[in-house]
Structure formats: C-alpha cells, structure tokens
Structure 1
Amino acid sequence: MELTPQNAAWFAETFAKLTDNVGQALLGKAPVIRLALTCMLAEGHLLLEDAPGTGKTALARALAATVQGTHSRIQFTPDLLPSDITGVTMYDQKTSQWEFHKGPIFASIVLADEINRASPKTQSALLEVMEESQVTVDGTRHEQGRPFMVIATQNPVEQAGTYRLPEAQLDRFLMKSAVGYPDRAAALQVLAGSANPDRAKGLRPMIATHAVAEMADMVKTNYVNEAVLDYVQRLVEATREDADTTLGVSTRGAIAMVRAVRVWAAAHGRNYAVPDDVKQLAAPVWTHRLVMSPEAEFSGATATQVIARALDNVEPPKERQGQ
C-alpha cells in the first residue's frame, strides 16, 4: 500500500516537530538535523566528520534524547576490543550455563565517538551489525532491535594515532555530513547559555521507538517514478566513468539514495519523489563512497567536485514525477 497524501502530510508535520526538538540543543543547525533524521527514518547510519567542538556529539545526544529508547556512547580508543562493543559470552557457575552479556551496540541509537581512533579489527566489529542488524558471537546470532542507528564521529584535523576507515565500512554509512560552526546569532545564544552547555539533557522524548519503526515502514512505500530511478542510475554511472575516480558509487550507494529520497520527499509533505530530492541528497549520500585516483588527489580534486560534475552533466527528467 503506497503512501497517501494524508500520511505524507502527517509525516512532514511529525518530522518538523522532531527537527525543532533536536534544534533546541543544536542551535542554528536545522539542515544537518534534517539529514540526521532522514538517515534514522531510512534506517541508515550517519558519519559526522568535523573539527573539534562543533557539536557532533551534541547532535547525537540530542537525537537520542528525542527518541524514547535506549542510547549508548562508545569512546573509541586504540585499546578498545571488538568484544567491548558487541558483548561477550560468559560462564555462569551458579546456573552452569553460558550467558551472553550484551555490549553497548545493543541500543536504539549508538554514538561511536572518534571511530577512527580504534584499530581496524575493532572497527570491523561494526560491519555486521550495521549491515544486517545482528551480532554473531561464538556462532550465535543476536538480533538488534528497531530502530537502530549508529552515529559515528571523527576528527579530520588530528591524524596521529588514527586508523582511516576502509572503503567497505564507509559504504555502510547512509550519509556523511558535517555540523560546522554556528552563525553569529546562534553562537550568541550558545554563549548566553554557557552555564549549562549540555542542552540535550533538558530535551523531552518526542517519539517512542515503535513509532519510529512505524514511520520507517510507512515511508518505504513512498512512490519513486521509474524516471527518477533512471536518473539515480545515470548519476551513479557518471561517477564511475569520471576520470578522477578509481571507484564510483556502488550499487549499495544507489540503493541508499533511493531509501533516503523516499524519506526526504515525505519530510516535505509529498507522497512521491522528484529529481530535486536526488540533487539535494547527492553530496551527503555519495561523496564518502567515492575513491579518488592518486593523481586526482595530488592535483587537489575532491569527491564533492565529482558529484557536482555528475549533476551538471546528467540531465534530470523534465516532467513532473507525481503519481
């Protein structure tokens, strides 16, 4: 059953309320908040890469506070072990049985702080749970609940003692974004409230976890015209054919775009997607999935430029793509 105009209107209204609630903790950052909520409702994961002190952790905590579910924070360090994330099976002498003790990954929203500081072995512990929403420990599968979202942060300024995320793991993040510094008006509000800097503590939950799961299921039926799907595929192929890339957008990346577009359209009150939805989401959904050639990187070319070139060169469908 496809999303109706009435359901789309309700979805957009609820989405706006959630944005406003998170915005109480992260002032003047509505665009990145909308991206984070889109990521959550598309049942994806978000990578935040920005300078220290810009509010990456504040965004994750505010989003967790808005959802009436469980949340956890994992501080990634070089000595962190995979079992510190997923959990461990221990022998209980009283019951003479092996029991699984869940790790912090078993939460509705998980903040993976400074993910690039952990070793590649520890980073890879997230691969299964991010892709399949389950954890396998000692041959036993443990299902993750819904909603489930990993918000990972990394600091691009300091490179000493860090391990760059491999392309396979980057591809599992639905979006990559940055918070950035607030404008002057928002910065003044932040400074005025500096006596209580953690604004997320004062947020009230706005939505229950089961309602988040229902919204995610509802938006899966949002209509995407075949012409829009063709537009997405042509853009993907353009990134693969670009001279500056070694690897373009993967098939997983194309699927991620369609998932995100469905949510983005509903968040704007539409029960159908349009090419502009793809254009607005192209950078956050695709830039981190590109592998630039060494020559291009040396000359200063960026993934953002490749995406911009693809949008310029690939003609979008011209007719209105409603139902």
Structure 2
Amino acid sequence: MLTFAYHRATSIDDALGAAARGARYYAGGTNMLDLMKTGVETPSALVDIGDLDLGSVQALPSGGVLIGAGVTNSDAANHPLVRAAYPVLSQAILSGATTQIRNMATVGGNLMQRTRCPYFMDPAFTACNKRSPGSGCAAVAGFNREHAVFGAGTTCVAVHPSDMAVALAAVDALVHVAGPSGPRSIPIGGFFTLPGEHPERDNSLAPGELITGIELPPSPFGARSWYLKVRDRHSYAFALVSVAVGLDIRDGVTRSAAVVLGGVAATPWRVGAAEAELVGRTADADAFRSAARVAVSGAEPLSQNGFKVVLARNSVERALTRAAARG
C-alpha cells in the first residue's frame, strides 16, 4: 500500500472541501482498503467521514424511512423500521459477506463498492477497461463464469456485487447526495450505470459528491417480498444470481410487482416486462412461471455463464412463490 494523507472530517462541508482537493471518502473501508492493499486504488489522500451525523435511521412524515449513509449494514438490516416495512432489504443485507464485515461496512459504502471481477481486482492483468480505460476486457474471452448476461457489450462484462442495491431497486429507493453544486436526490434506477463507452464509471455521481442517505419511500410490498441469493457457498460469497421481488396482491390478483435481478449486470437489473406479466393476473404458479420466462428474455450469455439464464429463470419463479406465500 502506498502512503497517503489522512483527514478526519468534522462536517459535510469539511468533507466536500477535502474531496475537492483530491481526497477520497472513507467510511467503513471494507472495500477501499482491500483495493488499496492490492494497488487497484491508489488515492493520495483519504477523508474519514465516520464522525459525521449520518448514522441514524428515522421514520419520515411521508411514511417512508431515511437511512443515513453512515449506518452500518448490520444496524440497517436489524432496525425495526426496516424489518417491518422493508423485509426484502433486511434479507438482502443479511445475505452479504459476514457478520464482522456487516458490522463495519456502511450503507453508503455498500453502494460505492467496486466489482469483484478477478481481472479488475488484480493489477497483474493489464486488460481491464474499468481499471484502465482503453486497455480491453480480458473477461470477454477469458474467465467469465461469474459475469454479466445483461447490458454488458464488449467494453466490460463485470457485475455489481451489492445485494443491498438489488433490494433497494425493488422498493424504488432514492439516494441523497451532497456535492459542490448542492444537495440532490438520485432515483436508485439512475444511480448505477452500464459500461457503454465509460466502463470505468460505476455510477452517476459527479466528482466530489458524497452520499448522505438512502430514502425508502412507502412500499406496497412490505407484506409480500423476498430476496433469494444463489451462490457457490453459503457465506462470504457473491451472488451468481440473486432476485428481489415484491408483490401487492388483493383478492388473489397481483396489483403491482417488482422483479429485480442481481449478479447478472453492472447494475441491479429491474425487469419491467416481467412485472407487467404479473399485474392483473391471479397470483399463482402459472403467472410466476410466465413472469420468470419473460425476466430472462434478451439475455446474452458469454462462453462460460449460460447457466445463469436458467438459474435466473428458476430463481425468479421461486422468489415469487416465496413472496406470495408470506401473505
């Protein structure tokens, strides 16, 4: 690890000022420090935001919930407001990493974590457009079992590793940020970006912007939702495929739905066509099977990850079945 300057921010404005001078934000450090140790990230300065007033979970007058960016994953997942109204988010967070890491990692940092593509994580591989734009993507013709089947193209086929983000997409969360141009809110569906011409960009944050909180609007899916994660081992493994679903069922008919896939794209992959397939139909096995088929339509698997298409289809059907049964 290279030497770096360190500053502990006393206010949001202080943190923004340090970032304007080139510092990188540091909270739990569970991803940043790993990348610094391997030489993937080489910041000249870090600004520690751990003392900022970003560590609370509070009910909003709208009926929603605001989670401060500094809240740890463990505290977010186990908070009564989250467990009661947004169980899919609690399930997703608790499926990630280990208890020790969840006790350190923050919800803001979770959104900012980088891909675990092995070509990105190891600087010994020179061809990685996300780490070095224009160098190529070694995974396209190399090891790509864990990589994207949606929205990839040829510039980068890495997937975003967050479980939490998949659940946030299902409940239409808003990401609140502060920055040089003032505060703003970004719908979660527009926060993450596909690789396209800029695979080095993971999200739509402007330079120097700091995540301050995540707003969960009132959700119709509190009673019936489910997060399903399929991975190679039970703990400390990233998803091969994950699914966050929510159902609003009245009189046996689905009135609204959310279907979001994880582990298959550079963003949480929300499938509006699958949701439309459910709405207005009896919430039964036939509808769930049909929605699952629609959910994987248009997938473009690579040489080693075609199994993800079948896995995703089966996972959507299973998650919908579990969510419906919760009611």
Shorter chain as denominator, the TM-score bin is: under 0.3
Higher-helix-fraction structure: 1
Considering Cα pairs closer than 8 Å and 6+ residues apart, tell me whether 1 or 2 has the greater RCO. Answer: 1
Larger Rg: 1
- Give the TM-score normalised by structure 2: 0.25
